[in-house]
Amino acid sequence: MPHVVFRGITTEQLKRISKPLVEELAE
């Protein structure tokens, strides 16, 4: 997977952020 920058956020950072975020929304 290419290292794409999404609004100044790298995919790796996005994965780290999205995981806990999804867990919060799930509750």
pLDDT digits (tens, 9 = 90+) for 1-27: 566 666 777 778 888 888 888 888 887
Q: pTM, whole model, 2 decimals?
A: 0.39
Contact predicate 18/10, CB 8 Å: no
Q: How many domains does the chain have?
A: 1
- The parent domain of residue 4 ranges over 1-27
What percent of the chain shows pLDDT beyond 90? 0
In angstroms, the Cα distances linking 4 to 8, 11, 18, 19, 21 are 9, 6, 16, 18, 20
